[in-house]
Amino acid sequence: MLLLPLPGLLGGIALLAFYRPVWFAAPFAAVLFVLTAVFRPRITRLPDSAQPVGRSEAPQLYDVLDRLAAQTGSSKLQHVVVTVDQRIAVDRVGWRYRRTLRIGLSSWSVLGPQERYAVLAHAMYDDQRGVHDRVLGAAQHIIGELAATVTPGRLDSAGDGRIHHMEGVVLIRQGSDDQILHSWLVKLSNAVLGPPIRGYRRLLHRLDLVGRQRREYRIDRRVAEHVGSEPTAASLERVLLAGICFRAAERAVRFDRAGDPVGTLRRTAAEIPEHEFARLVRVDRAQNWRSDAEHPPTWQRTRLLRAHPTPTTTVFAPSKDDELTKAARAALAALHD
């Protein structure tokens, strides 16, 4: 599937350039160009709020990343950005596929020093995916976008055509002729193309699910061998508090312009009571929550980590925690928009 874009583009150009008559070749070239557009490679892009952090600004963080690169057997990271979301991971960004560490402030603020070390180690190990995993991940992303394209949404409805009475006014929920035609075309596309696309997506996901989940369990064990099983398990649970911190920072940015949103973020993370944390852990287990579709449920990962305790062999004790403050303020300022 990922080999379709380039042959489709070259085939469409060849048809227009060498096949005659052009009016006969044009429809086939158009079909090839559409396939090229649909199956084009999707480039990972950073959010607009992402703020870069250089080595001169965060020497301690980069020193930790260099040590982790040596421990995990990967190359050193040269790009770090701070975002306002909850994601802490290494992404391949842009057309050059630059390895970039994304640090989500809402998750970073709720983690202790050793837990941050565990999260960074997991991100470095997770970046060591092979070509098979990357190709399959790109294929699943493309199929997911195709499924979303043919699935009717809220804007694809033209109304039900029924008469409704509201405060003495008679309303007929019926769209224009163009909206009705669009609605029927979307329904037809969903009926014809939706089942095979969604079926293939489920099949592809199931065939690779077991292997991916085993890989995540192996990464957890590797991280625990360096950081310790308890900090590794705690890092998976503490990120459940990230949503509370994000909402507090968002309110501070929008309604308290004179305040410091970074201070609010840190203060909120420090003041969350333990009973609220315990409640969120219980809810997480009851809902069988997982960080994404590729990861096993969080409670199963923490249970296995604590069932096979591993002592801490590498200690991360930062001397200061203000290296990201400048970038954090700039990233949070984007919440004004």
- Per-residue model confidence as pLDDT tens digits over 74-92: 888 889 999 988 889 888 8
Query: pLDDT value at position 151?
Result: 78
Query: pLDDT value at position 278?
Result: 92
In this model, does residue 192 exceed pLDDT 90? Answer: no
Q: How far apart are CA 51 and CA 21, in angstroms?
A: 53
Query: pLDDT value at position 226?
Result: 86
Distance of CA 173 to the CA centre of its chain: 37
Q: What is the dihedral of CA 239, 244, 246, 251, to 10 degrees?
A: -170
In this model, does residue 183 exceed pLDDT 90? Answer: no
The larger pLDDT score, comparing residue 161 to residue 135, is at 135
Percent of the chain with pLDDT over 70: 82
In this structure, are strands 169-172 and 98-104 parallel, antiparallel, or unpaired?
A: unpaired
Query: pLDDT value at position 82?
Result: 92
CA-based nearest residue to 242, from 87, 50, 114: 87
* 246-284 per-position pLDDT tens digit: 888 888 888 877 778 888 888 898 899 999 999 999 998
The larger pLDDT score, comparing residue 106 to residue 313, is at 106
- What is the chain's mean pLDDT, rounded? 80
Position 171 confidence tier, pLDDT thresholds 50, 70, 90: very low
Query: pLDDT value at position 174?
Result: 55
Give yes or no for a contact between 251 and 274, defined as CB atoms under 8 angstroms apart: no
Least confident of 87-96, 203-212, 240-249, 299-308: 203-212
